[in-house]
Amino acid sequence: MRLIFIRHGDPDYEKDSLTEKGWKEAALLAERAASWEISDIYCSPLGRAKATASCFLEKSGRKAEVCDWLQEFPVKVFREDLGRMKVPWDMKPSYWTKEEAYYDKDRWTEASLMKTAPVKEAYDEICNGMDQLLLKYGYERHGGYYLRNNPEEDDQEKNLVFFCHLGVMLAIMGHLTGISPAVLWHGFFVAPTSVTVLGSEEMKRGEAYFRCQVLGDTRHLYEGKEPVSQSGYFTKPFQG
């Protein structure tokens, strides 16, 4: 099985849609994805993700199932330094790196800032949403990995596509790979309409672990001569 995550295009957050550039990115992504063999498609309920998906769905004649748990991470925390509520990432390194809990996959929600809001409850809902979806395909969570039900009867390759957001995607990756989302949020960037792929590996038949094969690939933008958006990034992205 492959899980293919696509971040929405360059966003117009005020309208919860895409900018003119974002629509160009989505069109190029749709061209790229047209040749993919896809089993099922899932989408965030937010407008910018739906808009990105719409270009591919129109081109392919497919439909997507909307999952509420794929919306952008729904909880904000209170930042005393800013005096307002904000997403639970984009913190200065001198602030978050001094608290060891952030590096722990099981304890990161216990960090002082995370406890100012129901971050753990939101994260658990996202993880449960993914686990329930994978269970439909025969992958049952077992500690830190998955048991594949009836492996001898079902070896058909499945590719699932998710149109969603940076924050929730990295949270899901943290759950699947056993890495604290706080580390992923601060250490990795995925550009608008980028493609990230996690594939299941079975070193022992029937025991599956999801491994990142591709992270934040924007080949379709390079080929379409469209610059990579820096939305969510604090320096200029590599354009080579």
pLDDT tens, 90-107?
999 999 999 999 999 999
Q: Looking at residue 161, what is its pLDDT?
A: 98
CA distance 231 to 193: 11
The reported pLDDT for the residue numbered 154 is: 62
Residues 59 and 4: their CA atoms lie apart, in Å, by 18
In this prediction, residue 151 carries a pLDDT of 65
**59-68, 97-106, 166-175, 231-240: the lowest-pLDDT one:** 231-240
Q: What is the pLDDT of residue 157?
A: 86
Q: Does residue 152 carry a pLDDT above 80?
A: no
Q: What is the pLDDT of residue 153?
A: 62
**pLDDT given for residue 137 in this prediction:** 94
Give the residue carrying structure tokens 């989505």: 26
pLDDT-derived band at 142, boundaries 50, 70, 90: very high
Residue 150 has pLDDT above 80, yes or no: no
Average confidence (pLDDT) over 115-144: 97
- Distance from C-alpha of 23 to C-alpha of 55, rounded to nearest angstrom: 8
> What is the per-residue pLDDT for 155?
65
pLDDT, residue 232, reads 87
Tell me the per-residue pLDDT of 11-49, one tens digit each, with 9 for 90 and over.
999 999 999 999 999 999 999 999 999 999 999 999 999
Instruction: Check: CB of residue 205 under 8 Å from CB of residue 151.
Output: yes
Determine which helix (DSSP H) or strand (DSSP E) holds 175, and give its type and residue range.
helix 166-177
Each residue of 64-94: pLDDT tens digit?
Answer: 999 999 999 999 999 888 888 999 999 999 9
Q: Looking at residues 139-149, what average pLDDT do you find?
A: 95
* Dihedral pair phi/psi, residue 58, rounded to 5°: -65, -40
Q: What share of the chain is helix, strand, coil (3-state, %, to 5)?
A: 35, 25, 40
Torsion of CA 38, 231, 76, 167, to 10 degrees: 30
Residues 161 and 38: beta-carbon distance below 8 Å: yes
